[in-house]
Structure 1
Amino acid sequence: MHPGVVVSALRRELTAALEGLGEDHLYDVLLVMTELVSNVVDHMPGAGRLRVLLSQVPCAVTIEVDHDSATQPVYGRSRLPNDNRGRGMVVVDNLADTWRTRPRTGGGKTVFASVSC
């Protein structure tokens, strides 16, 4: 399946699951999710796993993406040859209250970002 189709489907599902959020907050959450998932699709071998956690008090949405690569995200430039993108983590950094990585037991890592309401 084409990566754009995967991301579009995830955006639709997340929009439906978070229907109670305000429009601006939902837009920020969708953009952060899109960037984190796109990094896995573009840069990592194999499949990833997406989790979205909604906290009511304080109101926040945390997006977590697991994958098998331990390679850390690059801030502000792409690892792909001849690619001028590389601004995905800059976007995440600007929209999220916090973002980090943590190692996974058995290898790989989780990249997560939290967007408050």
Structure 2
Amino acid sequence: MTAVGEDSTSLVLDLAIECGADLSLLRGRITGALSDVDEDDRYDVLLVVTELVSNVLDHTQGSGRLRLLRDEARGEITVEVDDSSPERPVRGRSRLDGSRGRGIVMVDEVASDWGVRGLPGGGKTVHARLRCTAAGPPS
């Protein structure tokens, strides 16, 4: 991935994640920021953001950072979520209870790529890249 400002990648949204964050307000901001993205693709981005931010709220001290980056040339949106925990997400297993733990499975299904990278000084960034097309003209 290129750094923000290089080539065709641009920062769409950069928000702090605070303990008790209202996910519906967050989804509203993302919907507004991606209003020109196809509705189905935007829904996938919202799903990924909800799952990754929920992981921060459920499995860490509840704070972090969310970034959405857009690569126009490649038709991609990248979701990045930072937190202070060194623990990596586990696909299909929850530490909360048996009815949870499918978030990363869903991320894996809708994202073209996802992964985790460590942050200097501790913590991690979980990132997911999604193919997105511009919305067609209004009907």
Q: Pick the TM interval, shorter chain.
A: over 0.9
Q: Distance in 1 between matches of 2:108 and 2:22?
A: 23
Q: Residue 9 in 1 paired to residue 25 in 2?
A: yes
1:2 deviation in Å?
7.7
Q: Does 1:109 align with 2:109?
A: no
1:89 and 2:104 are equivalent in the alignment: yes
Number of equivalenced pairs: 115
* Residues 31-70 of structure 1 aligned to structure 2 (within 5 Å): 31-70=47-86
Greater helix percent: which structure? 1
Give unpaired runs (5+ residues) of structure 2.
1-17, 133-139
Gaps of 5+ in 1: none
Shift of residue 56 of structure 1?
0.4
| 2: CA distance, partners of 1:42 / 1:9 | 18
Deviation readout 1:9-65 (Å, 9 max, x if unpaired): 110000000110001100101001100000001111141100000110111100000
Query: Highest Rg: 1 or 2?
Result: 2
Contact 1:77/1:84, CA 8 A, preserved across alignment? no
Deviations 1:64-97 (A, max 9, x none): 00000010101002111x3411000000000000
- Partner in structure 2 of residue 75 of structure 1: 91
In structure 2, what is the Cα distance between the partners aligned to 1:87 and 1:93?
10
Structure 1 segments (4+ residues) deviating >4 Å = none
Calculate the TM-score normalised by the size of structure 1: 0.93
Contact 2:19 2:63 in 1 (8 A): no
RMSD of Structure 2 on Structure 1 (CA):
1.5
| Contact residue 95 and residue 115 of structure 1 kept, 8 A | yes
**Rounded Cα–Cα distance in structure 2 between residues aligned with 1:83 and 1:66:** 25
Aligned counterpart for 1:20 among listed residues 24, 27, 36: 36
Residue identity opposite 1:30 in structure 2 = L
**Secondary structure class of the residue paired with 1:9:** helix
- Distance (Å, rounded) in 1 between the aligned partners of 2:22 and 2:86: 23
Q: Please state whether the residue corresponding to 1:86 is helix, strand or coil.
A: coil
